[in-house]
Amino acid sequence: MVESSPEQSAEPQAAAQPRGRRSARAAGLLLSLGVLVLVCVASIVVGAKPVPLGDVWHGLFQNSGTNHDVLIADVRVPRTLLGLLAGVALGLAGAVMQALTRNPLAEPGLMGVNAGAAAAVVTATSVLGATSFMGYVWFAFVGAAIVSVLVYVLGGGRAATPVRLALAGTAATAALYGYVNAVQLLDSAALDRLRFWTVGSLAGADADIVAAVAPFIAAGVVLAALVARPLNAMEMGDDTARALGANLTRTRVLAMLAVTLLCGGATAACGPIVFVGLMVPYLVRAITGPDMRWILPYAAVLSPVLLLGSDIVGRVVARPSELQVGIVTALIGGPVFIHLVRRKRMAQL
């Protein structure tokens, strides 16, 4: 009887391990999709005003114009769809930014991108008189793009470190929100229009806003998917990425364009919502590993779970009023961020 060598017996095990890990990742993604569906249903059913399940079904499929039908079809469904789109956008933007900067603390809110979009929107609203989404959405994109480039340069550019980027983003965010607050204090009309928007809110969503923001976020999703493979190469260092055939300049430009479209669209529609793009991609990376081809779909699924779940909590805890979703995510994300900063080992990605 011929005995197999240890090397021969180890080969099937080594081959089976990647297949098993891929199967586990796929199963986890399907489970996450199921959770997202449940959260979307809960977002339609649960609210500051209780609605019987029968009326919810009637409002979805047999809208006859009653108060409950209008509440479901014209308020909660668009609100859920906007939360879904904004969650996808923020999660993907955070994942792309973390990979691009090799910084586990990178996030559109902490890196000043949200603040740039907010400052541009406030300027368009107060100075130029823009009142509709399509009137100020382009300003949000421009503001997000300018601040993202500025923070990246101030943080050291290619030599940026997590600490320098976080400091540059914090400084830019403080300065821009100081400007936003000053404009609102001096312009009472702007304060009335933007008081909920500036803290991050899904309230007031309608079908027009959802339809207007969807193409921008869809374009950002496509760009994020296109740069997933070269971002994987860049995580191993610029020299290794070049050796693997990655075009670093094109990858950086497309990645920043994706972040601008995703974050600019979400911020223009919902206001600056922080920590979603930090927490979810960071935790997803711990589950899936560093492969962006898995991080992006997981982040796209779990980020709206967090955002819609926070919105549901805000509607329930403050009945009959509401707590804005940006406040809830900040209350959740603050302790998480402190925990990440205090970790003994803050390795770059």
Instruction: Report yes or no: 270 and 304 within 8 Å, Cβ to Cβ.
Output: no
Specify the residue for token string 């099937």.
Answer: 12
What pLDDT does 159 receive?
Answer: 67
pLDDT digits (tens, 9 = 90+) for 93-140: 999 988 888 877 777 777 788 889 889 988 888 888 777 777 777 888
Q: Is the pLDDT of residue 348 over 70?
A: no
Q: What radius of gyration do the chain's Cα atoms show?
A: 22
Helix, strand, or coil here: 227? coil
Domain over 53-342 is classified CATH 1.10.3470.10: yes
Residue 61 exposure: Cα atoms within 13 Å on the Cβ side: 3
Distance of CA 198 to the CA centre of its chain: 16
C-alpha to C-alpha distance for 178 and 191, rounded to whole angstroms? 14
Instruction: Report yes or no: 271 and 201 within 8 Å, Cβ to Cβ.
Output: yes
Residue spans per domain, the chain: 53-342
What pTM was computed for the model?
0.85
pLDDT digits (tens, 9 = 90+) for 187-244: 776 666 677 777 788 887 888 889 989 999 999 999 999 999 999 988 877 788 888 8
pLDDT digits (tens, 9 = 90+) for 1-27: 445 554 454 444 434 556 777 888 899
DSSP of 295-307: HHHHHHHHHHHHH
pLDDT digits (tens, 9 = 90+) for 127-174: 887 777 777 778 888 888 898 888 888 877 666 666 677 788 889 989
Q: Is the pLDDT of residue 268 over 80?
A: yes
For the chain, report the end-to-end CA distance as a whole number of angstroms.
50
